[in-house]
Chain A
Amino acid sequence: MSETEEPRRRVIGTPSSEPAALDRVVSERGQEIDAVAVLPSDPENLGHAKRIERIVALCFILAFFAGVGFIAAYVGIEVGPSAPAHTDLVDEAFRSNLALGLSLAVALLAIGTGSMLWVRHLTPNIEVVEHRHALRSDPEDRAKFEEFFTKGAQVSQVTKRPLLRRTMLLATAPLALAPLVLLRDLGPLPEDSLRVTAWRKGLRAVVFGTNRPLTPADISIPGSMITVIPEGYAGDDDALAKSGVILIKFAPGQLQVPTVYNGKTQLYGMNWTVDNIVAYSKICTHVGCPVALYEQTTHHILCPCHQSTFDAAHGAKVIFGPAARPLPQLPMGTDADGYLVALSDFTQPVGPSFWERG
């Protein structure tokens, strides 16, 4: 179908059987359109245009007043320390947010509405046809480019003197690596820091939050779970991110520490527990969230992040979810004063798996 045969393409100003149809501005030769000559400067229905003009102006006036309102709200509603005494500062911030947001939204939407009505109703609805030029260059241009490029390469001697070419590449190689080398001091090497925690023999377990040491008698109700941290490490997030521990109290006979633990024969067995209180790492072995939910009827520990579920009564083995390892168990005992203490650090790395874990 060639363009001249298309029935509805016509120059503006010629009679149209469908007044509502979109008018098109044609370029007969496919070069430039003379938009100046063909674009009408006014819409067809001047009465309608007058009405729209008033509405658009009204929108812009509304936007003006809303903008003034925004500034007034900024000046008028103080927040924080400069707010009037005896006001709820949080409510005051929300009030300020409401006043500022509402006035700004009205101003912006009114300008948007005005602009939209303007372009849809006041400018004549025309379409313009522009011709695409081939993206691919002329063969002649390509050939000339190729010629000039190769000529330049020859003149530069780079093609003729491989020694220059190779030594130049050699010279840049270390410099290309330098930015990577400079990143080395971003952090220390992992070394064994993923394998050790703050726990050591004789260190007391204190309640996370209150820092109170615990005796076995403090956790006397079976089914209860409590988060403890090593004494003296409150506020040390780096230590807590590895050393958080949950203590779970069982009724006699419920707790069965498995003889095979994590693929290896369990050496200590029940010696790691005190008075049916077992201690597991609180750091999920999946990607490190705190395993914070405990269901006492099923003895299930659930990580709220990705729902890895561990059976607390059976060495915290995984019974659902993406975690691949049981929660490491912390050997617990009591010190001379009867307080709960660690018997050693964890015997395996806590938290997410990593390549060097082995």
Chain B
Amino acid sequence: MSTTDDDLRVPPALRGVGGWFDDRFHGARGMRVLMRKVFPDHWSFMLGEIALWSFVILLLTGTWLALFFVPSMNPTVYHGSYAKLDGLTMSEAYASTLRISFDIRGGLLIRQIHHWAADLFMVAIMAHMLRVFFTGAYRKPREVNWLIGIALFMLGMLEGLFGYSLPDDQLSGAGLRIFEGVLQGIPIVGTYTAFFLFGGPFPGTSIVPRMYIIHVLLFPGLILALVTAHLFIMFHQKHTQMPALGNTEKNVVGQPFWPYFLLKGQAWFFFIFGGLVVLATFAQINPIWLYGPYSPLNISSASQPDWYMGILEGSLRIMPAWEIDFLGHTLTLSVFIPFAVPLGIIFGGAALWPFFEQWATGDRTEHNVNDRPRNAPVRTGVGVAAVCFYGVLWAEGANDVLADKFQIPLYTITWIARIAVFVVPIGAYFVTKRICLGLQRKDTELLTHGVEIGIIRQLPSGEFIEEARPLEDDERAIVASKKLPPALPLPGQTDDNGVPAPGSRGVAGWARSVANRAFAETVVLPEGHADGHNGHGGITAHEPAPAGIGHGPTTTPEESAAEPPHEEE
């Protein structure tokens, strides 16, 4: 069907409205640019969107809950629909949460949507961060957005902790008790911090109203501001894209905002919201009426925090007893180390990584096409090591549940975790790196000999060969997307006069050379197979020469010529 000019006129009524606004805001040009903004398409790009839509749902449901919740620790005697707690003295916070759950239509549903959305929010942020890390999407020019993401994850942890502590039930009260105990363990300022936050000794009557205002105003405001900045920066810098035919460092290939992304975003929002409602309807979460009101002398076994606090819980459980006297003061390392070190490694390491990578590789160029994880073995190895480190501590946070379900002695699990938290990440790094290099070797095989098509042929000489077809152009664009970091001088390398290269002098220079050597390790194409069209008509006549493992810095000009063709920058 051909389009005529008449088809492309906005209906008069709409035009009038648009004109009214354009007269006042000069919006036609800007809106047109916005409408044709290109969104690259890849399934993993939807992960961050899950976090965004979860946050929207959190704001909607949270506002509704705040209409009914009473953020007060004043005692009240409960006479509501939940007969088992009838006549009990409890805080108004707990009583109003019971009321939301049983006496207000839709209250239980909205409460459970809110709680599930919070858990999904954190899952989505973590998945999104892993995607960004493993594909190298944090690289220049996107370091600031990476740092904002880390800040959002940390804020989300605290926001979640304060949120699930508000109902003042037995389980969350135990969590607050631990939180207060950990604060007390901070050197020098610990007791003051705890007393100022709780308004005196634990539990006091101030903590719920204080957490409430932080939970509903301060942190959501900060998160909203950071999310806005995150989106504007992304909008301004344009999206990254996965390696594919036609995708270069200088373009963005995808579908325009209007109408494609709008419809897709709409579908995704409703799917996420619908999925959360399914969970809230059929999967009970945080049934506070079963826990009872908080009392400092009660506790239930197998108490678990929400999943994103599990790493702190596991860190506390894994730590052996260690307390030292420091100039007459008590330094309780068995609390302070679990509080500060694991999250310090995860968040601090994540924040420093882009800058460390730039320093180690000497690569300060802009990157808009993402890496395939196999093509950055050190980064992928470190990422998997971090996942393992986090995972061991996280699982240790449920050591009592694991002990119960798998009938393993509790102390045995803790001892396994104490060893595994060091051994598994280191092992995972080397295994992952080897797997990445193995996959690179497979890629060189594809580039040099093509894809085996399952036909075995006998040559007149009697030799059997397996037929292969060369890669299609779009396949080749992906497989050959590897880029080597710039080569830096080897550790201790000097020129003919024995003078070390600039930048490789001293301890820092040596460390940089060593790191660079690790980053530069790669599988290079064997000579003579540079273009893949190797004259065999897609048939491998001979056993391929084994693709060697080389190092970027030692790559000779001949070998460089044999590398996969790079996109021109």
Between A and B, 21 residue pairs with Cβ closer than 8 Å are: A3-B251, A6-B246, A8-B246, A41-B1, A105-B274, A115-B266, A131-B251, A135-B237, A187-B195, A188-B200, A238-B204, A241-B177, A242-B201, A288-B202, A289-B299, A290-B296, A324-B321, A325-B323, A355-B329, A356-B191, A358-B325
Q: Which residues of B contact A (CB under 8 A)?
A: 1, 3, 7-8, 36-38, 41, 75, 80-83, 89, 99, 101-106, 108-109, 112, 141, 174, 177-178, 180-182, 184-192, 194-204, 206, 237-238, 245-246, 248-256, 259-260, 263-264, 266-271, 273-275, 277-278, 280-282, 294-303, 313, 316-317, 319-323, 325, 328-332, 334-335, 338, 366, 368, 399-400, 410-411, 414, 473-474, 565, 567-568
Looking at chain B's contact residues, is the secondary structure mostly helix, strand, loop, or mixed? mixed
Report whether A354 and B334 are in contact in the complex, using a CB–CB cutoff of 8 Å: no
Known contacts A112-B269, A119-B263, A194-B191; can you find 4 more A-B pairs with CB under 8 A?
A116-B267, A128-B254, A187-B200, A357-B329
Report whether A288 and B177 are in contact in the complex, using a CB–CB cutoff of 8 Å: yes
Q: Cβ of B273: which chain A residues have Cβ within 8 Å of it?
A: 108, 112
| Nearest-CB residue, chain B, relative to A284 | B181
Per the 8 Å Cβ criterion, residues 280-320 of A in contact with B are: 282, 286-290, 292-293, 304-308, 318, 320
A80 to B82, CA, bound (A): 9
The answer to whether the Cβ of A200 comes within 8 Å of any Cβ in the partner chain is no
A322 to B334, CA, bound (A): 6
Report whether A81 and B103 are in contact in the complex, using a CB–CB cutoff of 8 Å: yes
CB distance from B523 to the nearest CB of A (A): 22
Per the 8 Å Cβ criterion, residues 184-230 of A in contact with B are: 184, 186-190, 193-194, 208, 227, 229
Report whether A90 and B473 are in contact in the complex, using a CB–CB cutoff of 8 Å: no
Report whether A119 and B108 are in contact in the complex, using a CB–CB cutoff of 8 Å: no
| Nearest-CB residue, chain A, relative to B191 | A190
Please, what's the 1-or-0 string for A237-254, where 1 marks a CB less than 8 Å from any CB in chain B? 110111010000000000
A104 to B112, CA, bound (A): 14
Report whether B335 and A322 are in contact in the complex, using a CB–CB cutoff of 8 Å: yes
| Nearest-CB residue, chain B, relative to A309 | B411
Report whether A115 and B299 are in contact in the complex, using a CB–CB cutoff of 8 Å: no
A333 to B331, CA, bound (A): 34
Please, what's the 1-or-0 string for A6-38, where 1 marks a CB less than 8 Å from any CB in chain B? 111100000000000000100000000101100
| Nearest-CB residue, chain B, relative to A7 | B473
Contacts known (A128-B254, A352-B184); A89 close to B106, Cβ less than 8 A: no
A127 to B268, CA, bound (A): 20
A100 to B277, CA, bound (A): 9
A112 to B269, CA, bound (A): 7
CB distance from A290 to the nearest CB of B (A): 5
Per the 8 Å Cβ criterion, residues 222-281 of A in contact with B are: 227, 229, 235, 237-238, 240-242, 244
Chain B binder among A71-79, A147-155, A165-173: A71-79
A96 to B99, CA, bound (A): 14
| Nearest-CB residue, chain B, relative to A208 | B297
CB distance from B192 to the nearest CB of A (A): 7
The answer to whether the Cβ of A101 comes within 8 Å of any Cβ in the partner chain is yes
The answer to whether the Cβ of A97 comes within 8 Å of any Cβ in the partner chain is yes
